[in-house]
Amino acid sequence: MKFLCQVWFDTAEISNISEEDGKRLTADSIVNDDRLRASGHLLEAQALRAPSTAMTVSVRDDKMSVTDGPFAEIKEHLGGFVLIEARDMEEAICIAATFPVARYGRIEVRPAYSIKEEC
């Protein structure tokens, strides 16, 4: 089964980590990603730039609208995502608990599926 692990950060909190802690977090994350990739669990992992770099697109009545920034102003922001392969939710949770970023944020683990499977 595939699971999407969304990495959520408290925007104010993550902005205040030291440069040294940020570098250590990156290094630890690379090591963990490599380990999970080698075990066949990691399918994809990507960090996201700051919410201020986002653009929000919508289409209504065939007209496109684009606005600066994230869709909603919230206390937390999506900082990245990891797509993993696991036997079940229990294993997916155990894998997510190994993510170094869990020390600074929260990991939302959600089963993923192909929409073709639903047809």
User: What is the per-residue pLDDT for 12?
Assistant: 86
* 70 Cβ contact list (under 8 Å, min separation 6): 51, 54, 56, 77
What confidence score (pLDDT) does residue 119 get?
72
Given pLDDT bands bounded at 50, 70 and 90, which one contains residue 32?
very high
Strand partners, 64: 59
pLDDT in tens, 86-115: 999 999 999 999 999 999 999 999 999 999
> Looking at the whole model, is its pTM more than 0.85?
yes
Q: Pick the closest to residue 9 from 95, 101, 99, 72 (CA basis).
A: 101
Question: Which residues pair with residue 2 across a beta bridge?
Answer: 85, 112
| Secondary structure string (H, E, C) spanning 11-50 | HHHHHCCCHHHHHHHHHHHHHHHHHHHHCCCEEEEEECCC
